[in-house]
Amino acid sequence: MIDLYAEVIVDISHEKLDRPFTYKIPENLIDEIEEGTMVEIPFGQGNKLINGYVIRIKENNDYCPEKTKEIAGIAKGSVKADANLIKLATFIRKTYGSTQINALKTVMPVKKSVKREVKKRVVALLDEEKLEYLADLAGSKHKNAQERLLRELKKYSDISYSFITNKMNVSSQTISALVKNDVCRIEEETVYRNPIKIEKPSDTVVELSEEQKRIIDDVNEDLRKGERNTYLIHGITGSGKTEVYMRLIEDRIKEGKQAILLIPEIALTYQNLMRFYARFGDTVSVIHSKMTAGERYDQYLRVKEGSVNIMIGPRSALFTPFENLGIVVIDEEHESSYKADNMPKYHAREVAKKLCELTDSILVLGSATPSLESFYRAKCGEYKLYRLNDRLTGNTLPKVYVEDMRQELKDGNKSVFSRRLHNLIEDRLNRHEQIMLFLNRRGVSGFVSCRECGEVVKCPHCDVSLSLHKDGNLKCHYCGYETPFSKICSKCGSDKVRGFKAGTQMIEDFVRKEFPYALILRMDADSTKKQEDYESILSRFSNREADILIGTQMIVKGHDFKGVTLVGIVAADMALNAEDYRAGERAFQQLVQASGRAGRGENPGEVVIQTYQPDHYAVEFAKTQDYDAFYEDEITFRRQMMYPPIGNLLGIQITGDEEKRVVKLSKVISDMIDKMPIRSEIGKIGPASAALSKKCDIYRRVIYIKSLDYDNLISIKDFIEKEIEKFNLERETVMFDFNPMNGF
Ligand code: ADP
Ligand code: ZN
Ligand code: ZN
């Protein structure tokens, strides 16, 4: 028999150990160890047993055979990684930069088996009459617990064991005694912790519209021809996208395949799940961050058993180990939560694309406001673009007003609300219709703008807003450009340049003062520490227990409140002037999404957008809901500045506990990039202090590199990684983010 060897990635996250180690597979384990198996291996000089993943099995051993150690065994309770997931991990490692072990852990949301929950029931073996007789007998002997149980068994004949011991206060000895005398028996069944705990609701099957039918026919035609494409469905909310997803998924399931549907965690609501559950029943499962390890493991088992066909969840649902995947759908594909915020900072859209390639599946993206990336790819012909233009529910889009806050100020109105918004709130309160007030939470460090003419002070090099710092200087978080703050506006000459601050708490206080009789709910990170808080606020508002809901981004995502006929966007400027290149895109998306919350019931809705920059293109096009016009303006800006999706951006973040050292290291890295031997054309920005320059006593600096060629950025990252490895850094960390979404 020939010897077999395994390449193993050890479960220690350290750059120096970030390579496969070769181990011999012992003969008795040859049949059990496969690629993806988690094994125990002796490691280092002390031969301490640690875990690792087998990523490859080979016959030859290029490492010194006498020194090759043997695998000790299969790690207890471990879960095997699928071959495709290992390939996905390799892709993630290469594309986003991380250690192999971290990439492997990323693609394995379930790593360990968790003990199954066993449910016991007590089932009567005698008829009612006999049970009655025995109960009387027990009663006469003052065996009260026994009597209680017998009477209950007479009534129900099949009772949950835990109910008997907990609720009926009957001991397990009492039960055993009856079992011994053949009065009843205990039945055991293993149950899956099913996250969806409801009766199957009824489904309404609709006749597809012409537009919907065209999409489905076209996709199926492509599949018949053997083409595997990526599709982008651009359609306003209520235009029937979800119905299209369901039909496409249904078709794949009929072919014996499975489906993954990604939705942003925040939109993972009961309402949304129910539609799928109603149509597909028990074969739908869900996975999300609030689930226990046991619940996750059970979903994994159900998938492995083949009893789940559709997995719904946020980005980690991508790693569901389906046998025969056929389709991945990403709803609200523009959402920034599809980008991971921990290392490796992968983007679910890109990883999904890779997964579809590996599994011969199709990828369907949908949004009312597609990301610039996806729309750009669709325009280039890389994705197929479909449009759904009409709301199928019959109601019309709301009327949108843009209120110029400069004018309000000139007319002597110093309040948070424009006169129009104030009057409309009053009107809705009188009519008992509901109101949502939305405030963007971004703008951490505060841009400054002129209250007279609306001009925002920007970086002359990067065209993003400058932020006011405590030292009185305005700074650019891309390039580090600095200039002293001045109240004098460079455009109109007024002395009305000011910082911008507003929070949900402040709005709430203000509303309480102005409208003391209104019932108010507030939703932001503070008021929703727990998932229950979040759901309870939403359901209370939905049940019309309040007139006004005040909140951040959280309140605009996909919720359908029929009673809302007024949406107020209190300060659009906060979104327009976030200090990164995506500010315009994010602002447009939020304005359109927020507007979409009004008038979803019978009564038509109105939207008020308050801003000091009514001429900003994101505001103008949000008002008319003109995505295409917005896209043209935005892509022109990206092209001029070589920002994604035209160019690519690599963010390098250097953090540490001592400012001087962090500054020095970032300088060293910056010089390193300048001196890099072979590289194509790049643009380097920085080093500069990060948007949050100091957080929890950790200093942060960033360098950005622009390049048209993504691979070029990867080689720069690899180069830097190799170089800094020599420094043996202990107090500083260097992190990489490709095409960052949320800034550092
Ligand atoms: P989106 O996902 O774009 O927001 P949905 O698929 O949720 O749109 O559809 C919005 C509403 O219209 C839902 O209540 C849905 O049941 C209904 N709907 C979808 N397709 C049709 C159709 N062809 N005919 C009638 N109603 C439809
Ligand atoms: Zn001005
Ligand atoms: Zn700059």
Nearest listed ligand to the Cα of residue 206: 1
- The confidence score (pLDDT) of residue 444 equals 46
Pairing of strands 48-58, 5-10: antiparallel
- The confidence score (pLDDT) of residue 443 equals 41
C-alpha distances in Å from residue 698, one per residue of 335, 455, 680: 28, 34, 34
In this structure, the residue with its CA closest to atom 20 of ligand 1 is: 240
- The total number of residues shown for the chain amounts to 744
Nearest listed ligand to the Cα of residue 267: 1
Report pLDDT digits (tens) over 569-583. Answer: 988 887 777 777 888
What value does the mean pLDDT take over residues 66-78? Answer: 84
Nearest listed ligand to the Cα of residue 487: 2
Q: Are 666 and 732 a contacting pair, CB within 8 Å?
A: no
Q: Are 331 and 371 a contacting pair, CB within 8 Å?
A: no
Among 626, 536, 623, CA closest to 572: 623
Question: Tokens representing 719?
Answer: 């180069």
For residue 66, what is the DSSP state?
G
Pairing of strands 258-262, 310-313: parallel
Q: Are 360 and 258 a contacting pair, CB within 8 Å?
A: no
Share of the chain above pLDDT 90, in %: 38
Integer Cα distance of 106 and 9 in angstroms = 14
Integer Cα distance of 368 and 238 in angstroms = 9
pLDDT surpasses 70 at 298: yes
Beta strand segments in 96-183, E: 117-124, 158-160
What value does the mean pLDDT take over residues 47-67? Answer: 81
Report pLDDT digits (tens) over 252-277. Answer: 999 999 999 999 876 666 667 778 88
Among 405, 489, 500, CA closest to 445: 500
**Packing angle of the helix pair 144-156, 172-180 (nearest 10 deg):** 70
Q: What is the mean pLDDT of the chain?
A: 86
Among 322, 337, 349, CA closest to 230: 349
Integer Cα distance of 447 and 463 in angstroms = 13
Within 8 A by CB and 6+ apart from 68, the residues are 5, 22, 23, 24, 61
- The confidence score (pLDDT) of residue 692 equals 62
Residue 272 CB less than 6 A away from ligand 1? no
- 633 compared with 82, residue with greater pLDDT: 633
- The confidence score (pLDDT) of residue 38 equals 86
Q: Are 269 and 538 a contacting pair, CB within 8 Å?
A: yes
Nearest listed ligand to the Cα of residue 686: 3
- How buried is 232 (Cβ within 10 angstroms: 0-12 exposed, 13-18 middle, 19+ buried)? buried
Integer Cα distance of 270 and 732 in angstroms = 43
Ligand 1 atom nearest 208 alpha carbon: 23
Question: Tokens representing 306?
Answer: 């083949």
How many CB atoms within 10 Å of residue 731? 11
Residues, beta carbon < 5 Å, ion ligand 3: 459, 461-462, 476, 478-479, 481
548: confidence class by pLDDT, cuts 50, 70, 90: very high
Q: Are 70 and 24 a contacting pair, CB within 8 Å?
A: yes
Q: Are 109 and 286 a contacting pair, CB within 8 Å?
A: no
Integer Cα distance of 466 and 481 in angstroms = 9
Report pLDDT digits (tens) over 174-193. Answer: 999 999 999 999 887 766 55
- The confidence score (pLDDT) of residue 580 equals 79
| Category of 558 on φ-ψ map: left (φ > 0), alpha (ψ -120 to 50) or beta | left
What value does the mean pLDDT take over residues 607-631? Answer: 93
pLDDT surpasses 60 at 498: yes
Ligand 1 atom nearest 275 alpha carbon: 16
DSSP assignments along 546-603, one per residue: -SEEEESGGGGSS---TTEEEEEES-THHHHT-SSTTHHHHHHHHHHHHHTTSS-SSS
CA of 366 to the centre of ligand 1 (A): 14
Place of tokens 């951040």: 552
- 199 compared with 324, residue with greater pLDDT: 324
What value does the mean pLDDT take over residues 91-102? Answer: 86
Pairing of strands 648-656, 158-160: unpaired
pLDDT surpasses 90 at 506: no
- The confidence score (pLDDT) of residue 631 equals 97
pLDDT surpasses 90 at 375: yes
DSSP assignments along 306-351, one per residue: T---EEEESGGGGG---SSEEEEEEETTT-GGGB-SSSS--BHHHH
Question: Tokens representing 145?
Answer: 């617990």
CA of 686 to the centre of ligand 3 (A): 8
For residue 56, what is the DSSP state?
E
- The confidence score (pLDDT) of residue 114 equals 65
- Which structural domains are found in the chain, ordered by start? 5-107 (3.40.1440.60), 118-190 (no CATH), 210-388 (3.40.50.300), 399-446+500-637 (3.40.50.300), 648-738 (3.30.70.600)
DSSP assignments along 670-709, one per residue: HHHHHH-SS----EEEEEEEEEEEEETTEEEEEEEEEES-
Integer Cα distance of 628 and 631 in angstroms = 5
- The confidence score (pLDDT) of residue 395 equals 67
C-alpha distances in Å from residue 562, one per residue of 334, 369, 551, 593: 25, 22, 18, 15
- How buried is 710 (Cβ within 10 angstroms: 0-12 exposed, 13-18 middle, 19+ buried)? middle
Residue 206 CB less than 6 A away from ligand 1? yes
- The confidence score (pLDDT) of residue 197 equals 53
Residue 553 CB less than 6 A away from ligand 1? no
Rank 67-81, 102-116, 373-387, 723-737 by mean pLDDT and report only the highest: 373-387
Share of the chain above pLDDT 70, in %: 91
Within 8 A by CB and 6+ apart from 722, the residues are none
CA of 458 to the centre of ligand 3 (A): 8
Residue 395 CB less than 6 A away from ligand 1? no
Residue type, 51: N
pLDDT surpasses 60 at 636: yes
Residue 240 CB less than 6 A away from ligand 1? yes
DSSP assignments along 713-743, one per residue: HHHHHHHHHHHHHTTT-SSEEEEEEES-SS-
pTM above 0.85, yes or no: no
Nearest listed ligand to the Cα of residue 242: 1
CA of 449 to the centre of ligand 2 (A): 8
CA of 407 to the centre of ligand 2 (A): 13
H helices, E strands: number in the chain: 22, 30
Rank 63-72, 214-223, 589-598 by mean pLDDT and report only the highest: 214-223
CA of 404 to the centre of ligand 2 (A): 14
What value does the mean pLDDT take over residues 635-647? Answer: 92
- The confidence score (pLDDT) of residue 394 equals 65
Report pLDDT digits (tens) over 112-133. Answer: 666 666 778 898 999 999 999 9
Q: How far is CA 497 from the centre of its chain?
A: 37
pLDDT surpasses 50 at 693: yes
pLDDT surpasses 80 at 199: no
Residue 239 CB less than 6 A away from ligand 1? yes
Residue 733 CB less than 6 A away from ligand 1? no
Question: Tokens representing 480?
Answer: 């580090």
pLDDT surpasses 50 at 538: yes
Backbone angles phi, psi at 670, to 5 degrees: -60, -45
Residue 392 CB less than 6 A away from ligand 1? yes
For residue 167, what is the DSSP state?
I
Integer Cα distance of 225 and 195 in angstroms = 38
Q: Are 524 and 504 a contacting pair, CB within 8 Å?
A: yes
Report pLDDT digits (tens) over 428-468. Answer: 999 999 999 988 764 444 778 888 888 888 888 877 788 88
